[in-house]
Chains A and B, each alone.
Chain A
Amino acid sequence: MLQNLPIPFLVLSFLTILSALYVVTSKNPVHSVLALIFTFFTISAHYVLLNAQFLAVVNLIVYAGAIMVLFLFVLMLLNLSKESEPVKSNWWGIAAAISAGSLLLIITAAFQVSGEAVAKNPVEGIGLVKALGKVLFTRFVVPFELTGILFLAAMVGAVLLGKREKAVDALISKEESNG
């Protein structure tokens, strides 16, 4: 079965899985994040192979360019090392493995059903900007707008959480004046 697949796909998949494994197994959190960034790059390359250039670039901008920068930022500020890392019991690892494994099972099962349906009705240039924009703003306009509202709510929430409350400020200044 493997020899029927195109070589770029095989190479990319190998790299993706290898770097994804390194994300989990690496002891150094900064190395983990860098490996995760590399994984996003290879996934973007997969999108390009599928002729979905828009998704490829958006994946890079959003995940590799924005979210991972913040991850790296926090890790560098905390400067975690092996000594300062809290020791967790093995049960955490087992629980994580079980939940990730069941997620993998569900996704594979879902793709077995939907993959055939997609293969039967391919849409011309669905990954390109024009086609995607049309679909998003006509057929899926309600979910799209709802996602927008969700993002706005998350943004407002983040700003609110980041804001210091007046009562806390007053408490801090009181303690400072006492001490």
Chain B
Amino acid sequence: MDSALFLEKLILIVVILAITLVMALYFTFGERKIAAFFQDRLGPNRVGPFGLLQPFADGGKLLFKEEIIPKNAEKWLFILGPGIAMIVATITSAVIPWGTSLPIFGRDVQLQVADVNIGVLYIMGIVSIGVYGIMIGGWASNNKYSLYGAIRASAQMISYELSMGLALIAVVMMSGTLSLREMVEQQVGLNWNVWYQPLGFILFLTCALAECNRAPFDLAECETELIGGYHVEYSSMKLGFYLFSEYINMFISSAVMACVYFGGYNFPGMHLISDPMILGIAQVAVMFAKIFFFVFLFMWIRWTLPRFRYDQLMRLGWKAMIPLALLNMLATGAVSLFNSQGF
């Protein structure tokens, strides 16, 4: 690998990481503002103009809180838990195409860290190891409430991962590729996958909510039963990492949904723009508009729907989602076979 490419990728990684962190920071603010709107109140408006500096005040407060490691906790695993949660949340962004390319200093900079030919599988792999942060943290706390929370979270994530994978397989069968970039390139203009896979999209959205441990699937941190769930013993920035990773997960899963089902950076009339610089910026802007829409949807759902009961959650996962996803897969296979050779 030549050093210019290496430098280019390094800068891209740093920029994407910074954007992800800032986004997550402001999603906490957005969440509070949206919650306030749904509950007919004002929300945070004291720090800075319109309360815009509130996330920094929150972050500073978390940072200066006292660090407590319980006496009976497994010290190293207790520290490892939030770290894993954070790392796993941030590495998914490596395969997401944010736009085609931008001409910077005469170089055609591809707006994707790694165009691996197994992008979709990579995401599934990261999703499947995402549960370790919660599990290790919850177990290492040596507290029965956090253990319950951890076990609930892992059972839930394993259950919903299956239908998530099955929903994605239908898209893979249709587009014939595992690379996210190729998948996005096929959805030119308004030729989005969601028109062909509406059921798959609804299944994926539900699973994404469950995987992010968002309401109505936030059984892992159910305050009324578990006082706080898996992170009950955590304080200071370790707690901050857990809370933060939830918002990063939300951001990334919105990006994945935008790429897989809603055409990623594509928008109608894209071929009319000839200047590559403007085109690149417009693509990134469109991508982020789609992401913001999904994040808003996540928040909307959270402040509208009440939490499920645990047996309802499991019944929905195993007896409704998986059969529907299998049916969707079967139908997709039948239709693509018919399209390719007739009966």
Quick check: B129 and A64 within 8 Å, CB to CB? yes
Quick check: A76 and B135 within 8 Å, CB to CB? yes
List B contacts of A129 (CB < 8 A): 117-118, 178
Q: With an 8 A cutoff between CB atoms, is B158 at the interface? A: yes
List A contacts of B116 (CB < 8 A): 53
How far, in whole Å, are A64 and B88 apart by their CA atoms in the complex? 13
Q: Quick one: given A37-B132, A60-B128, are A69 and B154 in contact (CB under 8 Å)?
A: yes
Residue of A nearest to B122 (CB): A57
Q: With an 8 A cutoff between CB atoms, is B276 at the interface? A: no
Q: Quick one: given A53-B117, A54-B118, A69-B158, are A61 and B135 in contact (CB under 8 Å)?
A: no
Q: With an 8 A cutoff between CB atoms, is A126 at the interface? A: no
Give the contacting residue for A77; candidates B117, B127, B151, B161; CB below 8 A. B151
How far, in whole Å, are A125 and B124 apart by their CA atoms in the complex? 22
Q: With an 8 A cutoff between CB atoms, is A66 at the interface? A: yes
How far, in whole Å, are A129 and B122 apart by their CA atoms in the complex? 13
Q: Quick one: given A72-B135, A73-B155, A76-B135, are A60 and B118 in contact (CB under 8 Å)?
A: no
Quick check: A65 and B129 within 8 Å, CB to CB? yes
Q: With an 8 A cutoff between CB atoms, is A30 at the interface? A: yes
How far, in whole Å, are A34 and B77 apart by their CA atoms in the complex? 10
How far, in whole Å, are A111 and B306 apart by their CA atoms in the complex? 58
How far, in whole Å, are A60 and B139 apart by their CA atoms in the complex? 22
Q: Closest CB of chain B to A48's CB: distance in Å?
A: 10
How far, in whole Å, are A73 and B151 apart by their CA atoms in the complex? 7
- Restricting to A106-159, which residues have a CB under 8 Å from any CB of B? 128-129
Quick check: B154 and A57 within 8 Å, CB to CB? no
How far, in whole Å, are A30 and B131 apart by their CA atoms in the complex? 15
Q: Closest CB of chain A to B174's CB: distance in Å?
A: 16
Interface residues in A, total, Cβ within 8 A: 20
Interface residues in B, total, Cβ within 8 A: 25
How far, in whole Å, are A34 and B133 apart by their CA atoms in the complex? 12
List A contacts of B127 (CB < 8 A): 65
Q: Closest CB of chain B to A57's CB: distance in Å?
A: 4
Say whether chain B's binding surface is mostly helix, strand, loop, or mixed: helix
Q: With an 8 A cutoff between CB atoms, is A58 at the interface? A: yes
How far, in whole Å, are A10 and B34 apart by their CA atoms in the complex? 52
Residue of A nearest to B116 (CB): A53
Quick check: A66 and B151 within 8 Å, CB to CB? no
Q: With an 8 A cutoff between CB atoms, is B147 at the interface? A: yes
Give the contacting residue for B121; candidates A61, A69, A73; CB below 8 A. A61
List A contacts of B161 (CB < 8 A): 65
Q: With an 8 A cutoff between CB atoms, is B237 at the interface? A: no
Quick check: A57 and B118 within 8 Å, CB to CB? yes
Q: Quick one: given A65-B128, A69-B131, A69-B135, are A76 and B121 in contact (CB under 8 Å)?
A: no
- Restricting to B124-156, which residues have a CB under 8 Å from any CB of A? 124-125, 127-129, 131-132, 135-136, 139, 147, 150-151, 154-155
Quick check: B150 and A76 within 8 Å, CB to CB? yes
List A contacts of B121 (CB < 8 A): 54, 57-58, 61
Quick check: B117 and A128 within 8 Å, CB to CB? yes
Quick check: A60 and B125 within 8 Å, CB to CB? yes
Residue of B nearest to A60 (CB): B125
Quick check: B118 and A73 within 8 Å, CB to CB? no
Quick check: B125 and A65 within 8 Å, CB to CB? yes
User: What 0/1 pattern do residues 103 to 116 of B give for CB contact below 8 A with A?
Assistant: 00000000000001
How far, in whole Å, are A73 and B150 apart by their CA atoms in the complex? 9
User: What 0/1 pattern do residues 59 to 91 of A give for CB contact below 8 A with B?
Assistant: 011001110011011001100000000000000
Give the contacting residue for A34; candidates B122, B136, B147; CB below 8 A. B136
Q: Closest CB of chain B to A34's CB: distance in Å?
A: 7
Which interface residue of A34, A57, A58, A64 has the most chain B CB atoms within 10 A?
A57
Quick check: B128 and A73 within 8 Å, CB to CB? no
Q: Which B residues lie at the A interface, using CB under 8 A?
A: 74, 77, 116-118, 121-122, 124-125, 127-129, 131-132, 135-136, 139, 147, 150-151, 154-155, 158, 161, 178
List the 7 shortest-distance A-B pairs measured between CB atoms, nearest first: A65-B128, A60-B125, A57-B121, A57-B125, A61-B125, A76-B139, A61-B128
New A-B pairs, 19, CB < 8 Å, besides A57-B125, A77-B151: A30-B139, A58-B121, A60-B129, A61-B121, A61-B124, A64-B128, A65-B128, A65-B161, A69-B131, A69-B135, A69-B154, A72-B132, A73-B151, A73-B154, A76-B139, A76-B150, A76-B151, A128-B117, A129-B178
Pull 28 A–B residue pairs with CB atoms less than 8 Å apart, ordered by A. A30-B74, A30-B77, A34-B136, A53-B117, A54-B121, A57-B121, A57-B125, A61-B124, A65-B125, A65-B127, A65-B129, A65-B161, A69-B128, A69-B131, A69-B132, A69-B135, A70-B158, A72-B135, A73-B135, A73-B151, A73-B154, A76-B135, A76-B147, A76-B150, A76-B151, A77-B151, A129-B117, A129-B178
